[in-house]
Amino acid sequence: MPSNTDAAAAALIHRTWQDGTTFDALPPALRPATRAAGYAIQAALAAFSAAPLYGWKIAATSLAGQRHIAVAGPLAGRIFAERVIAEGEAVPFGVNHMRVAEVEFAFRMAGDLPPRAAPYTAAEVIAAVATLHPAIEIPDSRFTDFTQAGEAQLIADLACGHYFVAGAATTADWRGLDLAAHRVIATRNGGPPVEGFGANVLGDPRVALAWLANELSGLGIPLRAGETITTGTCLIPIPIAPHDVIAADFGVLGQITVRFGS
């Protein structure tokens, strides 16, 4: 059970999220001082979701991303089922403060990875994966200036989680591909292409996935079968506005298109 302080911090974050507003920082009495304290508040946010956990996101999987939000390494955040949009449906734009879309490699788990003392290897984690999906994440933050919030508060804030869209599972033999060298191309409204590679995600999306499994293991949290993990943007975040269409081409791994509402 969350502490009263964690529950109060989570309630404030959730209310701010629902209202589409922001705040400068959590009140001092509710503000987490450590990563673990941030994750405790994040866990308390799960009380506001009526569905089983959809999965996890990883933020700041590139050095540029870490510098941008002033953190020392990646951050994990829950993805709630209510914030997952089916491909083909319009993603509500609403009051989005960050106004970017991030093109990502996502993995759906086939088996559980329970917490344990020994770190999981990338090979062990990949062996527990069912499918790979092209995906687009639409992040946002409840902090007015998320670049100055600090990693503990950003973790509490679901690592800037907001909306998520997963494409169809690839039919290609992705396990036999070099995902670090794999090229992804994205466009906004059919404009000039933006190019990225899997290596932009902690050197390899599979490495990022293993990082997530071990981050959760250290917190005593299992990674469960059926959960989807999106591993961080593989190209520069793409600016978005209402009614935009973002299309990402993962080559043999498939494509995904996301359109935004008003």
Q: How far apart are CA 6 and CA 158, in angstroms?
A: 14
Q: Per-residue pLDDT tens for 21-67?
A: 999 999 999 999 999 999 999 999 999 999 999 999 999 998 889 99
Q: pLDDT grade, residue 1 (50/70/90)?
A: confident
Q: How far apart are CA 103 and CA 83, in angstroms?
A: 17
Taking all residues of the chain, what is their mean pLDDT, rounded to a whole number?
Answer: 97
**Residue 118, Cβ neighbours under 10 Å: how many?**
8
Q: Per-residue pLDDT tens for 103-132?
A: 999 999 999 999 999 999 999 999 999 999
How much is the pTM? 0.97
Report domain extents, the chain. 52-259
**Which of 238, 241, 244, 240 has the alpha carbon at shortest distance from 259?**
244
Structure tokens at 52: 């089983």
Q: How far apart are CA 210 and CA 53, in angstroms?
A: 19
Query: What burial letters (b/e) apply to 13-33, b meaning 16+ CB within 10 Å?
Result: bbebbeeeebeeebeeebbbe
CATH number assigned to the domain covering 52-259: 3.90.850.10
Q: What mean pLDDT do residues 83-107 have?
A: 97
Cα–Cα distances in Å, from 121 out to 89, 208, 209, 220? 37, 11, 10, 17
